[in-house]
Each structure stands twice: as structure tokens, then as C-alpha cells.
Chain A
């Protein structure tokens, strides 16, 4: 069949359509031919790829009849519509309907129902509840798995599939949203707590070594300080002696009286202040020393413990 044959056959077969619609359709096919021919095909190939023009015309007729049927159903639908909408809420209530995409079912259904149920009618109408069982068995289908009792058939199926098996046995269709997922623990096995991190002993040891050095430095500093304080105390005592001597009286010291008194008073005051300071510093020093000795003792103890352990190990 070449292009002309195709177009002529189609035109004849489309006689049921009004002139303008037929022209429109034919121009679509003319365009198709042009495009295909320019891509390098010949007319015969294009015509055979398009299919039988009579079948195509039949398709147009089916579409047109369906549209007409829908149009005829539309006025019928218009009347019950208000009642329908009033009834809609109580109808919708019992079904949880987890499908926000599907709007309230339009009551156009009776017309469309004539065609066998498929997923499109399932979409537009209420769900087709038992579509499977009443279908007559084609003779060429081996009867094996269909005649097997459903109980046996169900046996090997996993529990997750039970719902769908039910559906094949004529039960209510499975809700696609009720997929049985394995419990979360199977997907995410509980994570074992990480083993407690063993603090390496090295930093501790370094710390203690540093501490010991610091303590030694501190001890040196404080000995120097104490020597200085002792010297100051000596001066104080000497000044006090000189002052008392001057107060007691004359003799050799008479000439220096006034100077010595002033000097002694100054020395005494300074001595007091120094004494207080020294007492405070000494107290601080004492506490530090006590702490240090404590730490040193603990350090020594640790070493002893360690040795004891080693000893035990060696003994055992």
C-alpha cells in the first residue's frame, strides 16, 4: 500500500465523521508521511508502520462513540450531582482513603463500566473488588497452579505476600499502602556500644614527671625565699635589740639616740609586715608541700602496685 492508497482508504473509512474533522485527521497522516519520507523511509514502509487504515478509522469511531456516550451521560450526571455531593461526606467517612490524589469519585461510571476493568477504570470508579474469580478459564491454560487449593498455594508465600495472595484468591484487594516492611531492627541491627577507650598511660606519666619537676623548682624557689626571709628577720631582731638598747640608755649609744630610735621603729614596722607576709607565704608553701608529698606518695604507691602486679604475674 502506498501513500495514496493509504490516505484514500482512510478517507473512505472515516466517512462517518464530518468533513472538517476528516480533513484534520487526514492532514495529520499527510504530515506523518512527509516527515517519514524525509527521514529516508519509502511510502510502503511508512504505510505498514502506520497499520491498517481501516483499523485506524475504527479507532476514531470507538473514540467518538465513547465521547458521545460520555456526553449523553453528562446531563444525567448533572441532576444527581447535588444529592451526590450531599451524600459524599458520610460515604467517604468510613474509608480512611490514604490516597489524596484521587478526588471524590465522579458518578460517570455506569457508561465506562461497559469496558473490562483495568487500572484506568479502577482509578475512576470504586475499586474493582473481585475482578479475578469470575473470569472463565481459557482452555489452553494448564490447570496446575490455578486448581491447586489456595491454602497450599499460600503455604510457601512469605507473610509479606499474604495480602496479595488473598487478592488472587478473591479476597479484598491489598491496600498498596500496607506494605509489610521488616521490623526496623532487621534493617538497622542495634549498634554495639564502642569498647571503652583505654586511656594510654603515657600522658599521665608525663604529667607526673612535669609535676615533679615543678615541685622541685617550687621547693628551690621557696628555700631561697626562706633564706631571704630569715635574713630579714635577723635584721629585724638586730634592729629591735638596737632600739631597746637605745631606749634603755646612754653610754656609748647616746650620740646616735635619735637616729637609732627612728631607724628601729622603721625596722620594727617593716619586720611586722614582713613577718605577716612570711607567715602567709609559709602557709601557702606548707599546703603546696603537703599536696606535693601526697602526689609523690601516690606516685610511689602506683609504682609499688605496678611492681606488685608484675610480681604476681611472675609468681603465677
Chain B
């Protein structure tokens, strides 16, 4: 899978998971890697970049056992970015389908 494309798709996945509620890193990694064929380690660098770009915030929540968990929260800027990526994803999807159809594949 093209790494640029994959990264964009993963970004969108993270955004969409954080859209309704905050999650901690492990949750995000599990849900995404259960559904998309990527190695678990790919998502943590992505999360860090999203944080550096200001699309997500993090905060620590004390858990019963062990060290506190790092939760991710989608910022307004991140929501904006998500809208853009969602739009371009839909456009991309539509374009691919068009080309497939032109090639006689349904």
C-alpha cells in the first residue's frame, strides 16, 4: 500500500474514532489494526504527528493499576482537518470507482 495514501487513510480513521469520544492510544491502535492490515507500531508515530500538528490534544488519566493512560482528544482544528480529509476521501473513492467502471469492473 502506498505509504502516503495509507497515512492519509489512517489519519482519517483516527479522526473518526476521536470524533465522538476521546480514546487512549491502545484503543485506537487495536480498533484500527484489527480492521486494516497494518502493523500496530504504525499508529503511534501518526498519533505523535497529529499531536505536533495540533489536530489532537493528549491528557493523562489515572488508571487503577499501573501508570496513567494517555487519552487523545480531537481539537477544533483537527475536526476541520477531518472534514477536509473525509471530503477528499469520498472524492478519491468515487474517482476510483469511476475508473474501475470505465475498465468494466463492477
Contact = CB atoms under 8 A, between A and B. Distances in A.
A63 B45 contact: yes
A51 B40 contact: yes
A32 B102 contact: no
Contacts of A123: 84-85, 87-88
A67 B70 contact: no
Nearest to A166: B102
B24 to A, nearest CB: 8
Contacts of B4: 115-116, 118, 120-121
A161 B98 contact: yes
A69 to B, nearest CB: 13
A60 B69 CA distance: 21
A59 B42 contact: yes
A102 B80 CA distance: 10
Interface stretch (A23-31, A135-143, A246-254, A257-265): A23-31
A67 B29 contact: no
Interface string B20-50: 0000011001000100000111101111110
Given A67-B49, A120-B85, A56 B8 contact: no
A106 to B, nearest CB: 11
A165 interface: yes
Given A25-B44, A120-B4, A34 B92 contact: no
A225 B24 CA distance: 102
B99 to A, nearest CB: 6
B94 interface: yes
Interface SS majority for chain B: helix
B102 A164 contact: yes
Given A123-B87, A174-B98, A32 B42 contact: no
Which of A119, A145, A165, A168 has the most CB atoms of chain B within a 10 A radius of its CB?
A119
Given A31-B69, A31-B70, A101 B84 contact: yes
A167 B99 contact: yes
A31 B67 contact: yes
Given A63-B52, A119-B8, 20 more contacts: A28-B44, A31-B26, A32-B29, A36-B26, A49-B39, A50-B40, A50-B41, A53-B41, A56-B41, A56-B44, A101-B87, A102-B87, A120-B7, A120-B8, A122-B88, A123-B84, A161-B101, A165-B102, A167-B99, A174-B95
Interface of B: 2, 4-5, 7-8, 25-26, 29, 33, 39-42, 44-49, 52-53, 66-67, 69-70, 83-85, 87-89, 91-92, 94-95, 98-99, 101-104
25 contacts: A28-B44, A29-B44, A31-B70, A32-B40, A35-B26, A50-B41, A52-B41, A56-B42, A59-B42, A63-B46, A63-B52, A67-B49, A102-B87, A118-B2, A119-B89, A120-B7, A120-B85, A122-B88, A122-B91, A123-B85, A123-B87, A145-B103, A164-B102, A176-B91, A176-B94
Interface of A: 24-25, 27-32, 34-36, 46, 49-53, 55-56, 59-60, 63, 66-67, 99, 101-102, 115-116, 118-123, 145, 156-157, 161, 163-165, 167-168, 173-174, 176
